[in-house]
Amino acid sequence: MRSTPRTALLLVLTLASPLAGRGPVARAEPPPPQAPAFELQGIGRGILLRLEPNFRWKARDEARSGVLGTLAGTTREFESIEIQLGADRAVLLAPQRSAYEAYGIQREVERGVSQVADVKPDLCVVRRRSLFGDSVVAVAVKQVGRTVVFARGECGKKDEAGLVKLVKSVVAGASATGDDIDGWIPQEVKTAWTHTPASDLVVVEDGTVDAARRDEILKAVRLGHGAAKRLLSASWNTPFAPVVRITANRDLFSHLAARRDLRDADAVYVPYAAELLVSPRGPVPDAARIAREASAQAMHYALGAADAEPVLSGLARQAAAQAAGVAAGELLPDDEERALARVKGKQAKSWYRLLMMPTLVHFLSEDPEERAIDAELAVVYLGSPAAAAGRSGLTAWIAAFRKVGHPDAASEAAVAALDPARCDAEYWAYWGPRADPPKKPGDKSGGAPAKPGSKPAGK
């Protein structure tokens, strides 16, 4: 059949009609660039962080915990801004970390500066007002397994919304990539670890300690844990159990603890990792040292935060004493005479006086022996039936520590709940007769005889 012009026109229109209703053909958009990501180091190993666009990461040298580095870059609101990024387990829970950060920022008080804090479970904002202008510090937090990741930044008041959005987006980019128990172990450590979960703890070991010593170690650990639970009348305040890591490799033990002073120690508690490391030096583990360090771990997990002074130091001595065979409520034998001499001479600081110290951060940095003894005297008093007033302060102290995670915040709450005169009267009424027993008729001695092997008073 011959083709006519009319037929050709119809053919063209027929072929074009399916495309007529489609309009212009859209070009495929390239996928948005993937935000760069990297793995945190130190305690954050095993946590992947996806960066905000236009930001670069600068790690702090040798930082194992706390602020691990900074993010610097630009956003729509900020031509240039720097955000501190951190991670650790010194405070185990994100809401507690938020309150801890707010309290710490507010303690950095400068003359003429007023501050107001807004604390939420995932964010705290501290607003500052001064003659030089208003500013804002914002900290966002996120729970990633056993570790809390936090981002902290500061700006002028007018940019608060932009700063809050930024720090929240930074922590939102953090995710776990592996096991959160072994994740913090330095990369150069190639040891294979075996995990054995129990109802109250997780045992992690490398197979270098025999079963008999392992059982003795765990017995001492549970003794230390039990001492803390009894004093605090509390169990763990976390959704995960404490980790006890056991190895006979002494070099590995020191390397993991980042300590060079552990030659004579069988155990050490590492707060930033929230782990108890145990490495027995001989055939018989040092139960007193293990129980002492285990009590620190128990305090951490029961309260949710480390550095629980002054109770921490006093309880450690009590745990060591009980592991050495001393009954609960009796003093550590090596320092018993010295402790009672401090009571007799009215040199000891009572529970109330310890709480009234200007700060309890770095409690043992000055006069460590005297302060540790005074803390033990306070702990024994608090564990006795005589401490009705003292226990009211301890109850408030526990509640505040679980909320804020800071020793000074806990002491402030305890002092507010105490009747100072009654508390001190109870303390001295409890310890006075033990330090200076009443003389019996015809007794001409100068007091209780010194025990063999005890240190002279004041030495």
Residues 228 and 331 in one domain: no
**How many angstroms separate the CA atoms of 56 and 38, rounded?**
11
Residues 256 and 325 in one domain: no
State which residues form the domain around 160: 37-176
Count of structural domains within the chain? 3
Residues 152 and 208 in one domain: no
Residues 422 and 393 in one domain: yes
- The position carrying tokens 């401090």 is 342
DSSP, collapsed to helix, strand or coil, labels residue 88 as: strand
Within a domain: 387: yes
pLDDT higher than 80, residue 13: no
CA end-to-end distance (rounded Å), the chain: 125
For residue 30, whether the previous peptide bond is cis, meaning omega lies within 30 degrees of 0, is no
Within a domain: 210: yes
Query: Do 97 and 104 touch, CB atoms closer than 8 A?
Result: no
Cα–chain-centroid distance for residue 178? 21
Phi, psi torsion values for 43, nearest 5 degrees: -65, -20
Residue 339 is encoded by which pair of tokens?
């402790």
| Per-residue model confidence as pLDDT tens digits over 185-207 | 998 999 999 999 999 999 999 99
CATH of the domain at 206: 3.40.30.160
pLDDT higher than 60, residue 21: no
| Per-residue model confidence as pLDDT tens digits over 149-173 | 999 999 999 999 999 999 999 999 9
Residue 136 is encoded by which pair of tokens?
């804002």
Residues 278 and 317 in one domain: no
| Per-residue model confidence as pLDDT tens digits over 102-118 | 999 998 877 668 899 99
Within a domain: 6: no
Residues 300 and 319 in one domain: no
**How many angstroms separate the CA atoms of 105 and 84, rounded?**
14
Please state, in angstroms and as integers, the Cα–Cα distance from residue 377 to each residue in 120, 265, 435, following that order: 37, 25, 11
Residues 264 and 207 in one domain: yes
Domain boundary among 115, 141, 176: 176
Following DSSP, what letter does each residue of 186-232 receive, concatenated? Answer: -TT-----EEEE-SS-EEEE-S-S-HHHHHHHHHHHHHHHHHHHHHH
Domain boundary among 305, 340, 355: 305
CATH of the domain at 43: 2.60.120.1690
**How many angstroms separate the CA atoms of 68 and 51, rounded?**
15
**How many angstroms separate the CA atoms of 44 and 48, rounded?**
8
pLDDT at residue 92, as a whole number:
96
| Per-residue model confidence as pLDDT tens digits over 259-292 | 989 999 999 999 999 999 999 999 999 999 999 9
Q: Residue 314: what residue type?
A: G
Following DSSP, what letter does each residue of 252-266 receive, concatenated? Answer: HHHHHHT-S--TT-S
Residues 148 and 238 in one domain: no
Residues 45 and 171 in one domain: yes
User: Dihedral angle at the C-alpha atoms of 354, 359, 362, 368, nearest 10 degrees?
Assistant: -30
